[in-house]
């Protein structure tokens, strides 16, 4: 069986190479300087809540082989309080300290096979991340602040010089110095999480642009975001002088050109960031009245929206605004977007639908590990090789998603465009063999 798999993989690599190199070059695709990185960032988001319904503990990063293919794990998410501080002990919907560092992890879920005892200073996900790093010394773990649901008060934190200084200091104290609040039973305490987190990822969705309803949005967010990343860089460097280490600072950036212009001083922010991940998904979804792609590499021919979104459009947008290509990381989804009640004819693409497709956790959203089981079970896989996307259709229900062939094509695009690497949302969407993460590892492998 091994030679057969090897031949198939070789054929997929060869096909993807032809597809990427045959495509007309754009600003992102035409890196004529010959500049290529010695190594690529391979960043995966680990969700705090994945330990519940998705049964995805930190241990799976090790047993699946994902951890050995990653350079960074971003822990999603850290919250921002109304008065502009990092905190973990909020009320319902505002935090989950139990999952973070209080929950005693049983032996069968533990990275090293040793169960936690109740009340240890560092239990839960944080304790397991520490064990994962011990087993994979080259792996860096960053705390990602905000996200869609917890960006509500980012604007408050970034508003003034004093608020920025206080916010950054609180985040470094809590996560990098590891000074956790003491919880019932005794978990937490001064330095309890020291060494778990290497740096900070800023996931403010979005400065001076609508995100989740209720977010505080101000016109001055655009300038204040630059000042905020500068303050993070100053304080992280100062802390690094005490630890004798560099502490990375990264950000998650939007795909929408209008949001880029509203919220970011493109060239300026990259003076302070180690790199930034660009949203490469959620271009379309069940909120649209017709089926479409959610993460295509290029805008498909016949797309009903003009202009439209794609991974290449997003990367080109940041390059045009002064971002250095060697600091741009392309986001790749480990989930699909779906519609049901699809009418019309053909393969289901660009056809009217009645609404989002039924799914496991959220209508219109399904993990790759579930979608992969649909192929051949009533659903047909369709591909647009030129645009770089795939979808499933059974005559009524339509799912747009990234499978290994699409992911491999994107990694080859990353190489050709001279980008910094790939980021994935989120690791718990992969199958138990980490197929997508291993595909990224293959596509971005260096000699």
What does DSSP say about strands 389-393 and 199-204: parallel, antiparallel, or unpaired? Answer: unpaired
* Summary count for the chain: helices (H), strands (E): 13, 15
Percent of the chain at pLDDT > 90 equals 90
- Which residues pair with residue 380 across a beta bridge? 393
Mean pLDDT of 386-400: 98
Answer positive or negative: Cα dihedral of 234, 236, 240, 242.
positive
pLDDT bucket at 38, cuts 50 / 70 / 90 = low
Nearest to 232 by CA among 284, 175, 186: 175
Q: Which of 33-42, 187-196, 366-375, 390-399 has the lowest mean pLDDT?
A: 33-42
CA of 19: how far to CAs of 27, 314, 389, 408, in Å? 17, 20, 12, 11
Closest listed residue to residue 280, CA positions, set 60, 28, 112, 33:
28
Kindly tell me if the per-residue pLDDT of 15 is higher than 60. no
Nearest alpha carbon to residue 314 among 19, 17, 27, 16: 27
Question: Looking at the predicted structure, is the pLDDT value of residue 13 above 50?
Answer: no
Question: With b meaning 16 or more CB within 10 Å and e meaning fewer, what string describes 372-400?
Answer: bebeeeebebbebbebbbbbbbeeebbbb
pLDDT of residue 9: 43
Does the structure show a pLDDT above 50 at 6? no
Grade residue 92 by pLDDT with cuts at 50, 70 and 90: confident
| Residues ≥6 apart with Cβ < 8 Å to 31 | 325, 416, 417, 418
Give the per-residue pLDDT at 27. 54
- pLDDT at residue 366, rounded to an integer: 98
pLDDT at 58: 99
Average pLDDT over residues 56-65: 98
| Lookup: tokens for 242 | 């005490």
| pLDDT greater than 70 at residue 3 | no
Confidence at residue 91, expressed as pLDDT on a 0 to 100 scale: 78
> What is the structure's pLDDT at 297?
98
pLDDT at 141 over 60: yes
What is the Cα–Cα distance from 84 to 151, expressed in whole angstroms? 11
Catalytic residues: 205
- How does pLDDT run across 213-263, given as a tens digit for each residue? 999 999 999 999 999 999 999 999 999 999 999 999 999 999 999 999 999
Give the residue-averaged pLDDT of 323-327: 98
Span of 89-93, 401-405, 421-425 with lowest mean pLDDT: 89-93
Average pLDDT over residues 149-158: 98
Q: How confident is the model over 168-193, as pLDDT tens digits?
A: 999 999 999 999 999 999 999 999 99
Q: Are strands 389-393 and 72-80 parallel, antiparallel or unpaired?
A: unpaired
Indicate whether 23 pLDDT > 50. Answer: no
Q: Flag whether pLDDT at 33 surpasses 60.
A: no
List domains and CATH numbers for the chain. Answer: 39-334+401-443 (3.20.20.80)
Does residue 283 register a pLDDT over 60? yes
Mean pLDDT of the region 148-156: 98
């Amino acid at each position: 069986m091994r030679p057969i798999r090897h031949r198939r993989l070789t054929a997929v690599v060869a096909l993807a190479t032809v597809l990427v190199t045959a495509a007309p070059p754009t600003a992102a695709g035409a890196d004529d300087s010959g500049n290529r990185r010695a190594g690529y960032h391979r960043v995966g988001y680990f969700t705090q809540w994945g330990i519940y319904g998705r049964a995805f503990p930190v241990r799976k990063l090790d047993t699946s082989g994902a951890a050995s293919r990653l350079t960074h794990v971003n822990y999603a998410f850290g919250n921002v309080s109304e008065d502009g501080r990092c905190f973990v002990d909020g009320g319902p919907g505002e935090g989950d300290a139990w999952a973070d560092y209080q929950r005693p992890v049983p032996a069968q879920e533990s990275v090293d096979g040793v169960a936690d005892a109740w009340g240890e200073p560092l239990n839960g996900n944080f304790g397991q991340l520490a064990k994962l790093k011990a087993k994979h010394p080259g792996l860096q773990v960053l705390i990602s602040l905000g996200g869609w649901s917890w960006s509500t008060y980012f604007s408050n934190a970034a508003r003034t010089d004093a608020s920025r200084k206080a916010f950054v200091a609180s985040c470094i104290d809590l996560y990098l110095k590891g000074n956790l609040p003491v919880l019932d039973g005794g978990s937490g305490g001064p330095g309890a999480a020291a060494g778990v987190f290497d740096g900070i990822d800023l996931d403010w969705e979005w400065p001076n642009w609508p995100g989740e309803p209720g977010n505080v949005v101000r016109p001055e967010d655009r300038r204040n975001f630059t000042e905020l990343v500068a303050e993070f860089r100053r304080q992280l460097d100062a802390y690094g002088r005490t630890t004798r280490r560099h502490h990375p600072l990264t950000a998650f950036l939007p795909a929408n050109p209008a949001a880029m212009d509203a919220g970011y001083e493109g060239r300026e922010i990259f003076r302070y960031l180690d790199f930034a991940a660009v949203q490469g998904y959620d271009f379309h979804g069940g909120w649209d009245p017709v089926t479409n792609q959610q993460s295509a590499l290029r805008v498909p021919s016949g797309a009903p929206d003009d202009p439209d979104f794609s991974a290449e459009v997003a990367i080109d947008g940041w390059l045009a605004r002064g971002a250095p290509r060697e600091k741009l990381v392309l986001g790749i989804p480990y989930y699909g977007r779906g519609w049901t009640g699809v009418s019309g004819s053909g393969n289901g693409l660009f056809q009217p639908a009645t609404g989002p497709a039924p799914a496991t956790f959220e209508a219109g959203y399904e993990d790759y590990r579930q979608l992969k089981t649909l192929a051949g079970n009533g659903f047909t896989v369709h591909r647009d090789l030129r645009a770089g996307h795939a979808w499933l259709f059974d005559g009524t229900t339509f799912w747009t998603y990234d499978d290994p062939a699409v992911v491999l094509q994107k990694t080859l695009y990353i190489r050709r465009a001279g980008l910094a690497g790939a980021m994935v949302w989120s690791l718990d969407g992969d199958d138990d063999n980490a197929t997508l993460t291993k595909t990224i590892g293959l596509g971005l492998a260096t000699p």
